[in-house]
Chains A and B, each alone.
Chain A
Amino acid sequence: MTRFDYDDGDVVVVVGSGAGGGTVANELCQRGFKTVVLEAGPHLTGEDYVQDEWEAFGQMAWTDPRTTSGSWQVATDFPELPAWIVKAVGGTTTHWAGACPRFKAHELAARSTYGDIDGANLLDWPIALSELEPYYDKAEIKMGVTHRHGRPPLPANNNYKVFANGAEKVGYRYYSTGPYATNAEPYDGRPATVQDGFNFQGDKHGSKWSTLVAELPKAERTGNLDLRPDSHAAQILHDATGRATGVLYVDRNGTLRRQRAAVVCVAGNSIETPRLLLLSGSAQHPDGLANSSGQVGRNYMRHTTGTVWGQFDRPVHMYRGETMAGVIADESRLDTDRGFVGGYYMETIALGPAFLAKFVAPGKWGSQLTELLDGYRNTAGMWIVGEDMPQADNRITLNSDVTDAHQLPVADVHFDDHANDVAMRRHGQRQGAAVYQAVGSRRTIETPPYPSTHNLGTCRMSQRPRDGVVDRFGRAHDVPNLFISDGSVFTTGAAANPTLTIVALATRQAEYIATELTKTL
């Protein structure tokens, strides 16, 4: 186990060990850079995971206090839980399902493609798909994504059989069991899936790509990784010249530590990353670190989501097998004639009775709920995930009235649905119901959005410093050795599940940091 000195100013400090942080750390370690990873959560592994929805939630989820505001339904249904993400080594890659679509070219140029949408704060990304494609290849190979680079597809499970037959009947063409970052056959030292049906609760078998089982162990083997779990970043420090000099964090004993750094990479997810920048305000950065644009925390996106359940006369047993190994991509196309801009994917999803009862109609009880659960055995499920509109006032701010265990002000997550989001969700739920009706469902049920699993924006990438927080490599416009390495940098959200793109961007960023550091060291 490598340990670097607190005063070793040559290290790169990475805050967060999920898709962005774990990847950028491994890529830097492979290139010989000393890297300290500060992870707020504990170091859980496969043996620790529990195949029980609520117990696993209690073990893995980020349940530190947060507050909500705005007109989104999550603020009513789950006022203290705006997001369902993980606080543990590996971050939310330990709980993600695995769906890996790429962005489409037009989605990186949303402002040019969709035009000036009222109320939306659209902006083109400062990079084009052609620049990202080599890194998508690297990310897919790294993650062992099925259907790509010779990796075989996963087989059809029961939930997929219903979904795919319905898709065929309504005339969809682009349905398949991937791309999906869980092994159908052994790959990269990880075994094939045993279809145990648990993804959101951690993968005991290690078949699913996560930074916990892939990037961090590889980084560890270089001898360049100093991984510090239970280490909660409190503030980023800078000097008079405006360069970041280190990170203050609270260790597992509650002691405040200072780790000096040559470079700081922040990857705490799109809620904690802007919170940390806002907590790092100083005389030189009165509105928060790297916030001369005023854009830190703004343009928070969560994807337009919803769930459709179909109930049938015969058994489905949707919970058996990979949770999300089914994708219909037809509605992800560029087609603004549907009454909204942007596209969406339909993806299989399964919940156990415990989470279905809680999430299908939050706070509701009575025979309508129980009749639905009585049909559990015969239920199929799909999730709608689509591009939502960035809005300047959908934002993360510090709520100084509420503090966490370290007396740090918590994040308030403010979100209002844009009319475009509402129109897309309606369309998606209608199309989803049509898929199930096409194969004989007795009834379909629509579930409102869950606490956000895809948290995006809040430190967006922009060509011009006044429009965003970071440049095309994720480097802060205001602080030359400060990088943002997670989904916070997304200029717009696209329809695709974000993990693959976060990994591709982090891989590209690490290459850039390595080149820049080699010049200066």
Chain B
Amino acid sequence: MASALISARDRQTLVEVVCTAFPHSSFPRGPYERAADVVLDQAGQDPRFLAQLIQGLGELDAQRDVPFTELDTDTAAAVLRGADGTPFLTAVVDSAVVTLYSDPEVWELLGYEGPSYDKGGYVDRGFNDLDWLPEPRITHDEEASA
């Protein structure tokens, strides 16, 4: 459960922080929103993290004349770089890196097919379909001694 102390605008700022930390032009908004929501859930269970989050998001908004969500990509990255190593950003990044890249929608975009056992593994689904290099040998002559 996200805390009542986090406003809708704070959430949008957090989503933008996750987008800025992990920029992928191919990703839609959904995976970033899901990663941000997990951060909020975790902060809801951890008063110290929640306090850091409230403070950290507020500080990001105060860095320029306009709110963090309205900054252009390069400026947002520069502002975030200024917060690198703070407990706030470290905690957000540590959480988001796990959620974002465990998201099946992200897997598909990156070309990872994930769980395969229910589909019979990859043995008949391309485990050896690379065809832009010659077929290599799989044994060598002096295996016992090498």
Contact = CB atoms under 8 A, between A and B. Distances in A.
Nearest to A164: B136
Nearest to B134: A165
Nearest to A330: B146
Nearest to B85: A363
A378 to B, nearest CB: 8
B122 A354 contact: no
A319 B126 CA distance: 11
Interface stretch (B5-13, B49-57, B64-72, B95-103): B95-103
Contacts of B2: none
Interface in A44-73: 51-54
Contacts of A162: 130, 133
> How large, as a class, is the contact surface on chain B?
35 or more
Interface string A293-334: 000000000000000000000111101110000000110100
B138 A153 contact: yes
Nearest to B119: A196
B101 A353 contact: yes
B128 A194 contact: no
A196 B122 contact: yes
A491 B26 CA distance: 51
A161 B133 contact: yes
Contacts of B97: 357-358, 365
A373 B102 CA distance: 13
A326 B106 CA distance: 28
A31 interface: no
A174 interface: yes
Given A153-B138, A173-B140, A174-B142, A354 B128 contact: no
A111 interface: no
Contacts of B26: 374
B46 interface: no
Interface residues of A, number: 59
Contact of A165 (B116, B126, B133): B133
A383 to B, nearest CB: 18
Interface residues of B: mostly helix, strand, loop or mixed? Answer: loop
Interface in B14-37: 21-24, 26
A339 interface: no
Interface in B114-128: 114-117, 120-123, 125-128
A370 interface: yes
Given A52-B115, A353-B110, A367-B77, A316 B98 contact: no
A273 B80 CA distance: 44
Contacts of B93: 363, 365
B136 A165 contact: yes
Contact of A374 (B24, B122, B125, B140): B24
Given A153-B138, A156-B135, A197-B116, A370 B121 contact: no
A161 B130 contact: yes
B98 A153 contact: no
Contact of B143 (A164, A176, A195, A204): A176
A198 B117 contact: yes
Contacts of A52: 102, 114-115
Given A320-B122, A363-B90, A176 B140 contact: yes
B48 interface: no
Closest 8 CB pairs of A and B: A377-B111, A194-B121, A164-B136, A51-B115, A196-B121, A321-B127, A320-B122, A174-B146
Interface of B: 21-24, 26, 77, 81, 90, 93-94, 97-98, 100-102, 106-107, 110-117, 120-123, 125-130, 132-140, 142-143, 146
Given A53-B102, A332-B146, A353-B110, 12 more contacts: A54-B98, A161-B133, A174-B140, A174-B143, A196-B121, A319-B113, A320-B116, A320-B125, A352-B114, A358-B97, A370-B22, A377-B112
